[in-house]
Amino acid sequence: MWLEILLASVLSFVIYWFVSRDKEATLPLGDGWWGPGVRPTAKEDESIRPFKVETSDDELDVRHRLGQLSRGEGREASGGFRGLDLSGVRNDSAVTGRGNWSSAQGEPRSTLLQRDAHVPAQVHPLAHARTYLRGPHEVCVQDRRLDKTRFTPPLEDSRFHYGFNSNYLKKVVSYWRNEFDWRKQVEILNRYPHFKTKIEGLDIHFIHVKPPQPPSGSTPKPLLMVHGWPGSFYEFYKIIPLLTDPKNHGLSEDHVFEVICPSIPGYDFSEASSKKGFNSVATARIFYKLMLRLGFQEFYLQGGDWGSLVCTNIAQLVPRHVKGLHLNMAFISKNIHFLTLPLARHFPGFFGYTPRDMELMCPFKEKMFYSIMRESGYMHIQSTKPDTVGCGLNDSPVGLAAYILEKFSTWTNSEFRDLEDGGLERKFSLDDLLTNIMLYWTTGSITSSQRYYKENLGLNIMTQKHQLLKVYVPTGYAAFPCELLHSPEKWVKVKFPKLISYSYMDRGGHFGAFEEPELLARDIRKFVELREQQ
């Protein structure tokens, strides 16, 4: 008998050892270089530079635009120009960096605005275009192009079932052309401090917002918030004051945050990788280095969409530096519980599902299969041929708007497909939606943002190492009812065993921070409260 006890003890120890190995498993941190060419031998400049989104009165007034576009659309940071050739086709192939400004280059503005002086201004085919100046390169939404847009009439009673309804698109374009005030939106963008810094060869853009009046005797909690596609750092503009200045927004000062919102490389003002293979793990490492550069050894994380994967990867890379992880979307592979769904409809409690789970997942065929199939077409092309679809979107402001805004319709609520206007203005203002569009258009970043799908999904994301590892940091999850795919608490715990907070949100869809900033802020605060009590 004693021999059996001894053998059982040894076996138990072996099992415990293997389980402990899984608990301690992390992703290798590694290193990378994503800038053009080979990595220089000199140490990378680690300075943090202030950055500002800029525009000018002349470029905002279309009446001043006659002949001005002979200068082209813009000039990239390395000194080359990107612009419109004489056929009117937008050419962004030379762009390697975005959003640098003249003072940082030490170049006079007049020099920065010169381009191809030998080309007569009067022959430029887009001489009447409106140009928005941001940094040393000019970027534009062409009024003349908007006026010349060719709309395909929608099918009768098609609403948003075939994609963006062109009847409503005309309204969006008219508002964009005649009422949208980009100068005002630029002022809003500059409401928070912007910065740039070089990491692994890329110019990384981020906003860094500190509490206006930190409560005495306490230190603000650093919180890194990461966006996804087709969003941007602008998604967080309405939730930031709820986190950094809660007292003036009807919330307690128990938890005050210092918020850092970077742009994923290849999105908006962050430089795109010059090399293949730049995925979520590389992004996570860069953002971890960013937090260290800012002086944070411990911090909280929050993300949805790609941001949820990037934040998850940070927790897998450096769990000791992550105080807590809050998500409103989860990438979960090897989920055997999915197989229980057919029987769970009849015995939900037996399989660990709540009545609310059943509401959000039934009917199974519709919500767990057909709806996903209807909404995943974009994913297949961006995971295989992102540059092809990017050609059209980067050359047509209206095409870009339709492509992106359709996601803000059906990903917010799948039932919005049944509406003529896609329900866009039920949750968002056109100003906010078009500001997000302008961030993609003015930086020419739609193609590089789509390549992120190729780099992450092209090799089958579900078999990559980070998908096979569990996350052993305290985790909170906000389950918005209109998310593309509902993840029950039981599923989330498969990937995140230290789940300490799981909330069924009252309303909202895929863009939680953009749609329901107050609900998300309250859930983040609830999670942090639980974490701080541990």
Six token digits for residue 382 = 């961006």
Catalytic (active site) residue 453: yes
CA distance 26 to 471: 9
Q: Count the Cβ atoms, other than its own, within 10 Å of residue 252.
A: 11
| Cα-based distances in Å from 437 to 226, 230, 231, 415, 417 | 18, 9, 9, 23, 21
User: Is-contact 525 534, C-beta < 8 A?
Assistant: no
Q: Which residue among 453, 486, 502, 523 is the active-site one?
A: 453
Q: Which residues contact 64 (CB under 8 A, 6 or more apart)?
A: 58
Q: Which of 189, 262, 180 is nearest to 228 (CA)?
A: 262
> Which phi and psi angles does 301 have, rounded to 5°?
-130, 145
> Going by DSSP bridges, is the β-strand pair 475-479/322-327 parallel, antiparallel, or unpaired?
parallel
CA distance 230 to 346: 38
> Which phi and psi angles does 446 have, rounded to 5°?
-65, -40
Q: Which residue among 137, 205, 466, 510 is the active-site one?
A: 510
CA distance 387 to 393: 10
Q: Which residue among 305, 357, 395, 432 is the active-site one?
A: 305
Q: Which of 99, 118, 404, 385 is nearest to 263 (CA)?
A: 99
Count Cα neighbours of 501 within 13 Å in the Cβ-side half-sphere: 27
How far, in whole angstroms, is CA 181 from its chain's centroid?
A: 24
- Name the DSSP letter for residue 311: H
Catalytic (active site) residue 305: yes
Catalytic (active site) residue 510: yes
User: Is-contact 27 469, C-beta < 8 A?
Assistant: yes
CA distance 256 to 248: 12
DSSP state string for 392-457? HHHH-HHHHHHHHHHHHHHTT-GGGGGSTTTTHHHH--HHHHHHHHHHHHHHT-HHHHHHHHHHHH
Six token digits for residue 226 = 């990461």
Six token digits for residue 15 = 């099992």
Q: Which amino acid is at 468?
A: L
Q: Which residues are catalytic?
A: 305, 453, 510
